[in-house]
Structure 1
């Protein structure tokens, strides 16, 4: 009976691959399910295999265990399916001259068991000073010699928390394959509101330009990359700063349409999205509608916008999938080169583990996109 109860619990957990997490704690659990499917499958297999002897409901437990293992591993099969067409889709979206990673497979089963062993210790630099405080960035120098493009990374955290130390694995990986990476801190809400973070991105680029010789930066090739709230900042900066040196922008599950987003709030048991937006924009939409419009990247898409990579999981319960649908449509209307990597099973933060099914796909697409726009 104990085995059956455990299997029922773990079966319900596996359903986070198919259904939206209904609470904040279950969203965090969904991130782990997305990132470590093999571990969950192995645990299920151990329970199913008969670690508990002389159990009642033996066959019911066996059947439930097999179904649960299949559900946990379903992202693996779906990742294979997406990987089959990723290269062709990116060529169609970005052009025949798209440049793909040396490892030309977007997903490999063997990588699920690999530990990220690429770790580059960044140098912390002060890039701008305000009265009473400094803003710093973490600089990951390219492991390839010579003047190299620079990726400016903008962290998430609902515009009110987080820092440049967030999810450093991709930063190290990009530096390893030949890019300088500057992960920046920026002024946070509610003390500082839009467009303060965008101004900080501009200040960071100016600093990197001034110190380009020392930092081995190709000043004509910058790419912005952001996650969640940081993606909103990165997109808005890319579309409004009018810097020809910004060759592209990578949007990991970012809110691209703040007006629409306010009209469709997240599940309050997961996050008070309207409250988060109000802190960042100085009030509710009813009070300051102009601030919501001014902070919506989608409002600033023009035919001159830089190429854009959109990455979003369909089970995202913090930033609605519809943001990326709307951004992709606006980019298409304006003839802007862009690729949208859709990950059906993934939730917000699925890229926590670069070797997970979603992590492998997103890392491959990110590297291929940066290769292409900076070549």
Structure 2
């Protein structure tokens, strides 16, 4: 049938097949190849999280090449390219089952084999990963949203938070969400899908911000987090929050601030803290940066602290959550991508070991294919796994675990 088509249509099919094959491979290759520059970082973050779409693209390219090209050598080249793309885009799926099992075992080891029995009514996902949700998106429910509430104004800089609440008026556990951005950028609206989703599960979510480096250096950011916590305590009744059931959750720089705030001896009662790929040892992070290093971690740390560890050793120590791991601290859930080239997973493993050695409750969940900021793709496979266990951990800490250690 191909031979009966006009020559220009044959050329279009051949060009389309080669184009699709090359594009599919180019996008898929970032599932395994670390990105060398900040410009390419979105590809490194996103490729594993849209692997289902990439798999569809690569199969489409394979089919078009198989049926649409009659030049043997071009067909073999296009089929080979799309075949490699298919293999690469399948890699996260090939690791999915084992990763699910390892995560579940880590949760059960720390919380008990039957921890899910009494908390299932408090979280919404009945499955750890859904291919339907990956393609269609994770369903969300309506909530109440109150933005731009000023909680402090240090140096006349207005700091605001957004509040997400269930539709029904009541009293709910509170979750304070702290955004990332290298301590230099970000907004309370960052990762709003998560805030909306988790509020619909029966929580009051406070998404807060803080002053940014390099204009404001550490400890300005942790002071701002503490100001937000004080504000939430003062207005707990107004915002339908049970002040005795508060958890902190942060991402990247926000996770660092969440741990730092929860681990202080004079911290308000905190029932749990959740770190998504947060830096925990700034000294080691400075001297042992990732390879490649697309964001230049040392320059980010220098802007945050105000110098190098040699110049400001005490500040780097004070700003490192691992420095406080030997204290009695709240239960901690650590979630980290195995391919993180911003905040290396090796330092999160060291924090996990230090917390457990000190007798604290800590759980480390590793996602082997995931890069830094994997959860920006809300319905991706990495975030689906993380979301399921985040929900169950929050339900355990804020609804069921009456004897949880507040770290005070």
TM-score range, shorter chain: over 0.9
Would you say the 8 A contact 2:28–2:51 is kept in 1? Answer: no
Give the number of the structure with larger relative contact order, counting CA–CA contacts within 8 Å between residues 6 or more apart: 1
Residue 61 of structure 2: aligned partner: 47
Would you say the 8 A contact 2:24–2:57 is kept in 1? Answer: no
Would you say the 8 A contact 1:126–1:136 is kept in 2? Answer: yes
Post-superposition offset of 1:313: 0.6
Would you say the 8 A contact 1:94–1:338 is kept in 2? Answer: no
Would you say the 8 A contact 2:179–2:186 is kept in 1? Answer: yes
Residue 404 of structure 2: aligned partner: none
Residue 359 of structure 2: aligned partner: 335
Residue 78 of structure 2: aligned partner: 61
User: What do residues 212-257 of structure 1 show as CA deviations (whole Å, max 9, x unaligned)?
Assistant: 1111000101111111111111111110153352111110111100
| Pairing of 1:182-197 with structure 2 (within 5 A) | 182-197=206-221
Matched residue SS, 1:166: coil
Q: 1:219 aligns with which of 229, 233, 243?
A: 243
* Higher alpha-carbon deviation: 221-230 or 137-146: 137-146
Matched residue SS, 2:166: coil
2:53 is equivalent to residue 29 of structure 1: no
| Pairing of 1:129-208 with structure 2 (within 5 A) | 129-143=153-167, 145-208=169-232
| Pairing of 1:1-375 with structure 2 (within 5 A) | 2=15, 3-4=17-18, 7-8=21-22, 10-50=24-64, 52-55=68-71, 56-95=73-112, 96-98=114-116, 99-100=119-120, 101-118=123-140, 120=143, 121-143=145-167, 145-240=169-264, 242-243=266-267, 245-267=269-291, 270-375=294-399
* Higher alpha-carbon deviation: 9-18 or 361-370: 9-18
Would you say the 8 A contact 1:83–1:105 is kept in 2? Answer: no
- Write the distance in 1 (CA, Å) between the matches of 2:207 and 2:125: 25
Post-superposition offset of 1:57: 3.2
Consecutive unaligned residues in structure 2, runs of 5 or more: 1-13, 400-408
Would you say the 8 A contact 1:315–1:346 is kept in 2? Answer: yes
User: What do residues 58-114 of structure 1 show as CA deviations (whole Å, max 9, x unaligned)?
Assistant: 234324423322321321232233223433431212234453535332112222122
Would you say the 8 A contact 2:34–2:292 is kept in 1? Answer: no
- Write the distance in 2 (CA, Å) between the matches of 1:244 and 1:156: 22
Matched residue SS, 2:36: coil
Post-superposition offset of 1:303: 4.5
* Higher alpha-carbon deviation: 265-274 or 203-212: 265-274
Consecutive unaligned residues in structure 1, runs of 5 or more: none
Matched residue SS, 1:171: helix
Post-superposition offset of 1:351: 0.7
- Write the distance in 2 (CA, Å) between the matches of 1:82 and 1:242: 37
Would you say the 8 A contact 1:202–1:241 is kept in 2? Answer: no
Matched residue SS, 2:40: helix
- Write the distance in 2 (CA, Å) between the matches of 1:312 and 1:134: 32
- Write the distance in 2 (CA, Å) between the matches of 1:162 and 1:102: 28
Name the TM-score, length of structure 1 as normaliser: 0.93
Q: 1:108 to 1:204 in 2, by over 3 A?
A: same
Post-superposition offset of 1:147: 1.1
How many residue pairs get aligned? The number is 375
* Higher alpha-carbon deviation: 45-54 or 217-226: 45-54
Give the RMSD, CA atoms, in angstroms. Answer: 2.1
Q: 1:268 to 1:69 in 2, by over 3 A?
A: closer
* Higher alpha-carbon deviation: 19-28 or 287-296: 19-28
Q: Which is greater in Rg?
A: 2
Q: 1:142 to 1:242 in 2, by over 3 A?
A: farther
Would you say the 8 A contact 1:154–1:164 is kept in 2? Answer: yes
Would you say the 8 A contact 2:255–2:276 is kept in 1? Answer: yes
* Higher alpha-carbon deviation: 324-333 or 1-10: 1-10
User: What do residues 267-309 of structure 1 show as CA deviations (whole Å, max 9, x unaligned)?
Assistant: 4761121111011101111211111111000001134111111
